[in-house]
């Protein structure tokens, strides 16, 4: 038998490398914004199509992301993840361009237009699944444990920044609106994002394999990899945690601004500003965990304390909104919403850092890599939660009002359910690799000094 060649792992990413991967997240966010926000509005307003159509397409793109575990497993089997990231970005960009160009067929109510739009959003969902899952798996294998919280914070802040910048630039270029102008602006965004992702990711992996492993140790097949997750108590609880927390996180997306308008008499401009206050709080929470988690959260157990605090804070903020539904305009709504965003940002970034740690613990030199499939499972849980969350929140309010409840009671009930979901998520987070006494003692010592 010939000698077994051992592939040495590439060194951990420095800050420049982490920022470069954040640029890929920015590119993903920019293209997704075209499909889930801009095209949503164009279909419903400029083309007077039923509002259920864009909503259904967005839900479908989340459903397609159930393929994330399969994409992650495919990237586990390859020597490198970069081709899957670039390929996913290409599919995402092409799907967005196809969706824009199909609008004329939809305007004519042609059956081929509806079919092609489903194809386009399928490409968008698959592209996000392939590129996003492989990118997170690469982060999990290449970021040092002490930098995971900061890396999660940087990449997610850059993704949000990509969405905000693209929305502002594209919005300014679209007036006066026309389909050719929309196609030109969308094409420019998609092409720029695709090229940016290639430049950012190119060469970042190097020639080394994502993890050091024997070449003669095969990656486990897909069923074995899924079975491994189901057999791992921490991974199984964390999957449920991702679903519950992201379901609660997304339930208020479609009802917060109507809540402000119906019960606090806010104008559309004021409710939009309130949404800005919430996102500002999210960024503040992300920054806090990014900085504090890197110092106090060097162990996975300590990092999960940030998740617990963020989920508990989110539950308290949502209980505050339940009270606000009864208290009315005397309630400090802006402060309540800012605190909700802050707590959401805390738990989201800490959860991503923990996700990296658990994914990195999924394989090794003797078992083969499993980071991709694990990231895929958690990404699929998040996609299901996002797809259900907004719809559940809106339908919950409508059903409660239709059953004879007042508007105040309807919002009280829905926000209360969200708070209970966050409490359940906090309990799960606390029991995923519960911090040991030495870890807590070490953390307390750092805080004391």
On the question of pLDDT at 343 being above 70, the answer is yes
Q: What is the pLDDT of residue 170?
A: 83
For the segment 49-67, what is each residue's pLDDT rounded down to a tens digit? 776 788 788 889 988 998 8
Cα three-residue angle 373-375-378, rounded to 5 degrees = 110
CA dihedral 402, 407, 410, 414 (to 10 degrees): 130
Looking at the whole model, is its pTM more than 0.85?
Answer: no
Q: Which of 74, 100, 107 is nearest to 88 (CA)?
A: 74
On the question of pLDDT at 298 being above 60, the answer is no
Pairwise pLDDT comparison (210 vs 336), residue with the higher score? 336
**Mean pLDDT calculated for residue range 282-290:** 86
Read off the pLDDT band of 166 (50, 70, 90): confident
- Residue 6 pairs in a beta bridge with 214
**Mean pLDDT calculated for residue range 273-300:** 76
**Mean pLDDT calculated for residue range 382-400:** 84
Q: What is the pLDDT of residue 415?
A: 93
Cα separations in angstroms, 108 against 47, 103, 120, 186, 418: 10, 9, 18, 21, 41
**Mean pLDDT calculated for residue range 352-356:** 81
Read off the pLDDT band of 24 (50, 70, 90): very high
On the question of pLDDT at 377 being above 80, the answer is yes
Domains, the chain, with CATH or none: 12-202 (1.20.1250.20), 218-449 (1.20.1250.20)
Q: Which of 157, 210, 189 is nearest to 19 (CA)?
A: 157
Pairwise pLDDT comparison (219 vs 443), residue with the higher score? 219
Q: What is the pLDDT of residue 361?
A: 62
On the question of pLDDT at 396 being above 90, the answer is no
Read off the pLDDT band of 206 (50, 70, 90): low
The percent of residues in the chain predicted with pLDDT above 70, rounded, is 84
Q: Which of 316, 309, 279 is nearest to 420 (CA)?
A: 316
On the question of pLDDT at 336 being above 90, the answer is yes
When mean pLDDT is compared across 191-195, 342-346, 442-446, the lowest value belongs to 442-446
Read off the pLDDT band of 137 (50, 70, 90): confident
Q: What is the pLDDT of residue 392?
A: 83
For the segment 406-418, what is each residue's pLDDT rounded down to a tens digit? 888 889 999 999 9
Q: What is the pLDDT of residue 12?
A: 78
Pairwise pLDDT comparison (114 vs 79), residue with the higher score? 114
On the question of pLDDT at 130 being above 90, the answer is yes
**Mean pLDDT calculated for residue range 376-400:** 84
Which run of H or of E encompasses 448? helix 437-448
Within 13 Å and on the Cβ side, how many CA atoms surround 239? 20
Read off the pLDDT band of 368 (50, 70, 90): low
Pairwise pLDDT comparison (219 vs 171), residue with the higher score? 171
111-115, 350-354, 359-363: which is most confident:
111-115
| Average pLDDT, rounded, for the chain | 81
Cα three-residue angle 414-241-12, rounded to 5 degrees = 135
CB within 8 A of 301, min separation 6: which ones?
A: 433, 434, 435, 436, 439
Q: What is the pLDDT of residue 144?
A: 82
Read off the pLDDT band of 109 (50, 70, 90): confident
Pairwise pLDDT comparison (349 vs 45), residue with the higher score? 349
């Amino acid at each position: 038998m010939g000698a077994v060649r051992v592939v040495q792992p590439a060194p951990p990413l420095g800050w420049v490398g982490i920022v470069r991967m954040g640029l890929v997240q920015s590119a993903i966010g920019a293209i997704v914004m075209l499909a889930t926000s801009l095209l949503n509005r164009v279909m419903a307003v400029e083309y007077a199509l039923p509002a259920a159509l864009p909503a259904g397409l967005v839900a479908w793109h989340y459903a397609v992301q159930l393929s994330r575990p399969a994409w992650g497993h495919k990237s586990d089997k390859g020597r490198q993840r970069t081709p899957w990231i670039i390929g996913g970005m290409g599919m995402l960009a092409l799907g967005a361009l196809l969706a824009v160009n199909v609008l004329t067929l939809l305007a004519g109510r042609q059956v081929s237009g509806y079919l092609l739009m489903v194809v386009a959003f399928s490409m968008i969902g698959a592209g996000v699944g392939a590129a996003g899952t492989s990118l997170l798996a690469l982060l999990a294998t290449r970021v040092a444990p002490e930098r995971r919280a900061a890396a999660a914070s940087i990449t997610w802040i850059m993704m949000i920044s990509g969405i905000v910048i693209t929305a502002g630039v594209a919005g300014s270029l679209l007036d006066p609106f026309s389909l050719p102008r929309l196609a030109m602006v969308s094409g420019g965004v998609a092409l720029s994002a695709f090229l940016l992702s290639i430049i950012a990711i190119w060469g970042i992996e190097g020639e080394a394999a994502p993890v050091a492993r024997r070449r003669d140790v095969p990656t486990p097949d897909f069923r074995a990899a899924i079975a491994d997750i189901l057999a791992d108590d921490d991974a199984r609880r964390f999957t449920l945690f991702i679903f519950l927390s992201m379901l609660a996180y997304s339930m208020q997306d479609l009802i917060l601004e109507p809540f402000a308008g119906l019960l606090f008499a806010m104008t559309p401009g004021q409710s939009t500003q309130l949404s800005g206050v919430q996102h500002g709080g999210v960024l503040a929470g992300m920054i806090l965990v990014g900085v504090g988690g890197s110092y106090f959260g060097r162990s996975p157990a300590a990092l999960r304390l940030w998740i617990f605090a963020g989920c508990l804070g989110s539950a308290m903020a949502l209980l505050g909104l339940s009270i606000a539904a009864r208290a009315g305009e005397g309630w400090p709504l802006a402060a309540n919403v800012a605190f909700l965003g802050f707590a959401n940002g805390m738990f989201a970034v800490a959860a991503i850092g923990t996700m990296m740690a658990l994914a990195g613990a999924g394989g090794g030199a003797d078992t083969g890599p499993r980071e991709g499939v694990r990231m895929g499972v958690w990404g699929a849980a998040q996609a299901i939660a996002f797809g259900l969350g907004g719809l559940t929140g809106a339908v919950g309010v409508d059903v409660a009002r239709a059953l004879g409840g007042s508007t105040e009671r309807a919002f009280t009930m829905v926000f209360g359910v969200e708070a209970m979901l966050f409490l359940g998520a906090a309990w799960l987070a606390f029991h995923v690799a519960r911090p040991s006494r030495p870890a807590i003692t070490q953390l307390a010592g750092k805080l004391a000094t």
